[in-house]
Amino acid sequence: MFHNLKTLLVLLLIILKEAGPIAACNTRCSSDCRCSSRGLRTVPQFLPISVTTLYLRSNKITAMSPSDFLRYRSLKKLDLSHNQLTSIQPGTFSNLPQLHTLILSRNKITHILPGMFSNLIQLQQLSLPFNQITIIQPDAFSNLPRLQQLYMNNNKIRTIQPSLFSDLPPLQKLYLYNNQMTTLPLAAYSTLSLIPNIHIFNNPWQCDCKMLPVRLKMSESHSFENQITCSKPDNLKDQMLKDVSPKDLLDCEEPSIVSFQRVDNNTLAQGEPLHLVCEASGIPTPDITVTIPSEQNATTVESGGRVTLGANGSTGTTITTAEFVTAADAGLYVCTAANHAGSTLATLFVDVHLNIPR
């Protein structure tokens, strides 16, 4: 009998162990619902409306909408880390006015858009590290009056707009390390100087004339000044910007377009591919934009994916490709090269011969 009782107790413990996590993600989870690692593809809608803490990490959620959180207006902490989110609709969290912690780390988010965090008037911590963020649009963090901690480390952020944090209260923590930032606007420097805990190390800082205003502003009174280590040019590599003489940052050269031409100069017929190459020089390496006859930039043209642009930032070369050209692709193409020292352009006329049926 004792053996049977012991066996029964073991079975009961196993059942309780299995039931514990399940009970944490159903109608009985009360204020703290733990729905992590359950293979969820959407936000569950069966939880109590009184929930204040919701863990949804390590699931398979790819998209969300404002209606997903309509019943959870009492949420104060939301963890969506380790999912597969690529973008977030503006207003997605607008029904969560009490939310103070939002964790979106380790997703696949690429852009931070205005309105993405609208109506989060109580938000204090926003965590976005280990995504694929490249662009943060102006006003992306507007209307967050209580935000104190902003984590965006380990992304692909190339630059920060001078006004990006202007609408925020003084942050206590800002993490931007391990990104792709090459320059720091002077206005952004002034904003960063107000943040007591900031990390911007491990960025490929380009110590050239773009950074001269920041270098002249440095006073050695802000800790983040010790985190800006030059990656380029080679003669300043691994030196701290604060230790570089301002005269060594004056070496800038206005861009010039070396060539802008078609790869194949044969007669271009309708339905054939078009390949253009624009090569430019300058210090620092200029940014190149190609404008097609429709007056759109090739970098932003969709056209069903028919027009593409590839760039080699280290050499200042851009290749524009249009698959299956039509009569609409004929006309004037403009290549513009620009850097901190100035800009220039070159034009190229492309003629497309129509295939006339016989």
Q: Which residues have CB under 8 Å from 333's CB, separation 6+? A: 260, 276, 290, 291, 292, 293, 320, 347, 348, 349, 350
What is the rounded CA–CA span in Å between residue 103 and residue 55? 10
What tens-digit pLDDT sequence spans the chain (358 residues)?
445 555 544 444 433 343 343 448 998 998 999 999 999 999 999 999 999 999 999 999 999 999 999 999 999 999 999 999 998 999 999 999 999 999 999 999 999 999 999 999 999 999 999 999 998 988 899 889 999 999 999 999 998 887 787 777 778 999 999 999 999 988 888 888 889 999 999 999 999 888 999 999 998 889 899 999 999 889 999 999 999 999 999 878 889 999 998 887 767 888 888 888 888 888 878 888 888 887 666 544 333 344 555 555 445 566 666 777 888 888 898 999 988 778 899 999 988 887 655 5
**DSSP string covering 73-100, please?**
TT--EEE--SS------TTTTTT-TT--
CB contact at 8 A, 290 and 333: yes
Would the CA dihedral through 233, 235, 238, 244 be positive or negative? negative
What is the rounded CA–CA span in Å between residue 58 and residue 60? 7
pTM: 0.71
Q: Which domains does the chain have, with CATH numbers?
A: 22-203 (3.80.10.10), 253-350 (2.60.40.10)
What is the rounded CA–CA span in Å between residue 142 and residue 165? 8
Q: Quick one: which of 218, 184, 189 has its CA closest to 203?
A: 184
Would the CA dihedral through 283, 285, 286, 292 be positive or negative? positive
